[in-house]
């Protein structure tokens, strides 16, 4: 079963980013493949959160891992207004700029990030082929 991270409560339609903040490469100039795959449903939710939180259009989705959680590592999703291409793998999926720190690549390589909205739960899911074990809450893993 994929791991799940609870999404922030948001409502309303998300605006599709039209501009790129300074410090972020243009979507058209980026590769469309990276160490993770972000589904169209996940990108739609990311855009909805960006609009709901009034973040700058073109904000970067930052994906990473941090130490902690029940199993050793926790997934981290956040937003940024710049990238450092010497430290981050930067790519675009479904028009969304995504940045993954190179140091997180070995833990995330091949991971699919999706968004699930059902009656019983709602949140981002992570299908990580590198995870040996995941915890019951679904937000942490061991590699």
The 3-state DSSP class for residue 138 equals coil
27: DSSP letter: G
Q: What is the model's pTM?
A: 0.77
Residue 7 confidence (pLDDT): 47
Residue 58 confidence (pLDDT): 87
Residue 66 confidence (pLDDT): 84
16: DSSP letter: P
Q: How far apart are CA 63 and CA 104, in angstroms?
A: 9
Over the chain (143 residues), the average pLDDT of each successive run of 10 is 48 44 82 96 97 93 81 85 94 97 92 92 89 60 52
Residue 39 confidence (pLDDT): 98
- Show me where the domains of the chain are located: 3-142
Residue 12 confidence (pLDDT): 41
Residues 3-142: name the CATH superfamily: HesB-like domain (2.60.300.12)
């Amino acid at each position: 079963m994929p791991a799940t991270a609870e999404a922030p409560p948001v409502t309303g339609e998300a605006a599709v980013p039209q501009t790129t903040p300074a410090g972020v490469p243009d979507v058209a100039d980026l590769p469309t493949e990276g160490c993770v795959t972000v589904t169209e449903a996940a990108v739609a939710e990311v855009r909805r959160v960006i609009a709901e939180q009034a973040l700058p259009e073109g904000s970067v989705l930052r994906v990473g891992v941090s130490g902690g959680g029940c199993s050793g590592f926790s997934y981290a999703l956040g937003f940024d207004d710049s990238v450092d291409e010497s430290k981050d793998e930067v790519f675009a999926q479904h028009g969304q700029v995504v940045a993954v720190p190179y140091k997180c690549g070995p833990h995330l390589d091949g991971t699919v990030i999706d968004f699930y909205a059902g009656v019983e739960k709602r949140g981002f899911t992570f299908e990580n082929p590198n995870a040996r074990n995941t915890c019951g809450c679904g937000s942490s893993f061991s590699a």
